Amino acid sequence: ADQAFRKKTVGLVTAEEFKRAAEEALQTDEQLKDKERAEREFQLQMEKKAMKKKRLDKKKRKKMLSTLSFANDEEEEMIMADGRNQEGESSSSSTSLLKKSKKNPNVDTSFLPDKQREEELERKREELKQQWLDRQEKIKNEQLEITYSYWDGSGHRRTIHIRKGASVGEFLELVRKDLASEFREMSKVSADALIYVKEDLIIPHDITFYDMIATKARGKSGPLFNFDVHDDVRVGPLDSRVEKDESHPGKVVERRWYDRNKHIFPASRWEVYDPANEYSTYTIHGGEVR
């Protein structure tokens, strides 16, 4: 600015020209100073940003190290050294090193979530579940021989074969058809008009024989899961801790006969079967048996 001023005022100049040249020189000088100030401020801002980024990167590395519960001292030193030597680089490289250092092959990580392991366990559970269901379905399709007695005041013993998965209602329909040729009243009623009494319990029509077998259901006077007829033939003193092995034929009865005679023995002992009830001891005609 001074050099430009001197060039403009060399030789004879008027006062007005001198004044104008001086003002231009001052203006140019101020512009240069403003430019220098702006450059210094910009440089200062850039330095502040760099320092702030440096502090944030350092804080981030410390935070990530604090989560590194199974990193050894040597690994931590590597991370810190890398942070000191490469502060000018992007944070992605240090993050990559941190992730790599977390994988310590000597540490038991079986307790940590593992998507692949969980999926494999779930697959095995589903496989075992399906195997169990297939096995139960096979059992339900097995044939069961049932000895029963059609009861109209006296007993008429019969035997019938049916699937283990069949319901009591399905069983009573087969019984009705089996008895219809000999007992005319059976041809005039439906299975809903019949009841099945096993070990002094009236078994609901929707209960299946599989249900009673699988749960080893107990009645008032014997087990509900044996459908043949046999006596307890054990010799010698009976152990009260061992369940009595005796089964009685279930009775098939017309519901109207039961309604007329439920106050008279044996119908007076009968009650509706409830799977939630437990019969810890067996009783026959008022007496207690094991």
pLDDT at 1 over 60: no
- What local confidence, expressed as pLDDT, does residue 239 receive? 43
C-alpha to C-alpha distances, 50 to 15, 74, 80, 87, nearest whole angstrom: 53, 29, 19, 10
pLDDT band for position 184 (50/70/90)? confident
Mean pLDDT of 142-165: 90
Cα–Cα distance, 267 to 283 (Å, whole number): 15
Per DSSP bridges, beta strands 143-151 and 155-163 are: antiparallel
Tens digits of residue pLDDT in 225-252: 888 764 443 344 444 444 455 567 889 9
What pTM was computed for the model? 0.52
- Count other C-beta atoms under 10 Å from residue 191's C-beta: 18
34-43's contacts with Cβ under 8 Å and 24+ in sequence apart are none
Cα of 32 vs its chain's centroid, Å: 75
- Asked if 223 contacts 243 with a C-beta cutoff of 8 angstroms, the reply is yes
Closest CA to 223 of 172, 171, 282, 267: 282
Q: What is the pLDDT of residues 113-134, one digit of tens each?
A: 778 888 888 898 998 999 999 9
Conformation bin of residue 106: beta by default, left when phi > 0, alpha when psi is -120 to 50: alpha
CB 148 within 8 A of CB 157: yes
User: Which residues are paired to 197 by β-bridges?
Assistant: 202, 251
pLDDT single digits (tens) 21-76: 667 766 776 777 777 787 888 888 888 888 888 888 887 777 766 655 445 555 55
